[in-house]
Chain A
């Protein structure tokens, strides 16, 4: 079977599954977002009136970024539990199709969830701001930031998924990291506004650089580094995690062919 036909079959599989579990999709898209909104709306009440419009806009884009990262990473790496236990990895390998090609298309589901969650978030918090929150000041920078974020999230999701073929990914640990990102990852607040100790952590989190690009593109908020430096660092980080994902996948495919999977069939 040609690569094109295989890819078409995988895309069809994901779209069909997306439609079959449409209620679950809505449920998953909204449940976490609703929790975040609950806290975020409470936290916005701490804001002085004169800075409310800017804070709401930054918070909205923070939720957009977190949704992209969280859904893409979780729906690639978290899905392997199901993928492995049902014996689908072996099925794909027997059909001469890389199981990672299937996982590489999982962002379709992740981004669909993000789209639903972001639309709902916009509906809720748009009324709080006196300025339009979903308007881009610099569309090119915004698009670039979002693309970096999707590419990084996909690569990290694939790395975690590949590792889970052998060592298992502790779900609760990923969940905690996921929520920690909201505050220390420079997503809900600009890095320049973070306290020193949080800023020291944020600079080591790859997502914080595209996050600054997105804030600049969406709200015009001046980033803590010059634009060209931010783009260079984001590009370098994006290439580094993609390369790492490629190496880990190649190593894991080789390992699985020689030694088999950690999980076989339905557990």
Chain B
């Protein structure tokens, strides 16, 4: 009987082969956080200074914070895409009906096939900013980056459930484009990646509070702001992320079962 481990192993093999044959992709993953931070600092410097930024956000090392936030943004984005694109690309290729008819439950396939990328991509993007972290903050910077990686991987658990929900929605929409293209930046926008959540309209603040990325950013901000953040403060985002992990994955498993039944009835192509 095929289990989730087989699906995970197959997808892990596919991802490793894909990275091995796309060395340019690994290189761009290393460069991308620096390009994003460079663009933001360049744009911001047209109207102000990085000192103003540090003061407004409340961090001691704004460059370090911007780099960690960018890594969180990229990792979250890639986690959402790895799950949603699995559904969409297989629909485009015409292989989705076969996947839905396979003996493994669709929920298991969606989650297990998204997991390898959800682990590999944050690790690569976090590794890319290690040199900058060591340069900016020395050994403490390296340790902080490890803490950011741990939080990103922890935040991945509710995010996978969230991505399965988005993937289920994609199965219903018979459009030519990837609707997740709009969901991923929206998630980042309402998570306050580069700015405090309070500057957004209230409706979006509420949406942001329901998303795991908000708490991952919050924890990263605490790590960036203090050498040893107060445990009590750090525990709050951790508790919320734990609750969201149960919440999102429970809802996802219910929704995807319904989506699977509906899609089998209606057809998926």
Contacts and interface: CB of A to CB of B under 8 A. Distances in A.
Given A44-B44, A45-B44, A189-B46, 20 more contacts: A21-B176, A23-B179, A24-B179, A27-B175, A27-B179, A31-B181, A34-B182, A34-B186, A34-B188, A35-B185, A41-B189, A42-B44, A45-B53, A46-B45, A46-B52, A47-B47, A48-B52, A55-B48, A183-B42, A188-B43
Contact of A30 (B42, B182, B201): B182
A26 B182 contact: yes
Interface of B: 39-40, 42-50, 52-53, 56-57, 66, 73, 173, 175-179, 181-182, 185-186, 188-189, 193-195, 199-201, 204
Contacts of B178: 27
A55 B43 CA distance: 12
Taking residues whose C-beta sits less than 8 angstroms from the other chain, chain A's interface range is 20 to 34
A86 to B, nearest CB: 12
Given A31-B182, A34-B189, A183-B43, A42 B48 contact: no
Residue of A41, A46, A127 with most chain B CB atoms under a 10 A cut-off: A46
A188 B40 CA distance: 13
Question: Which are the 4 A-B pairs with shortest beta-carbon distances?
Answer: A42-B194, A46-B44, A46-B48, A34-B185
B47 A43 contact: yes
A44 B47 contact: yes
A43 B44 contact: yes
Given A39-B40, A183-B43, A45 B175 contact: no
A160 interface: no
A49 to B, nearest CB: 8
Nearest to B73: A38
Interface of A: 21, 23-24, 26-28, 30-31, 34-35, 37-48, 51, 55, 123-124, 127-128, 183, 188-189, 193-194
Contacts of B173: 23
Given A35-B185, A124-B200, A46 B49 contact: yes
A126 to B, nearest CB: 8
B53 A46 contact: yes
Contacts of A188: 43, 46
A40 B52 contact: no
A55 B47 contact: yes
Given A28-B177, A43-B43, A45-B194, A38 B185 contact: yes
A21 B189 contact: no
Contacts of A28: 177
Nearest to A56: B47
Contacts of A37: 189
Residue of B46, B53, B186 with most chain A CB atoms under a 10 A cut-off: B46
Contacts of A40: 43
A189 B204 CA distance: 27
Residue of B40, B178, B182, B200 with most chain A CB atoms under a 10 A cut-off: B182
A124 B174 CA distance: 29
A189 B45 CA distance: 11
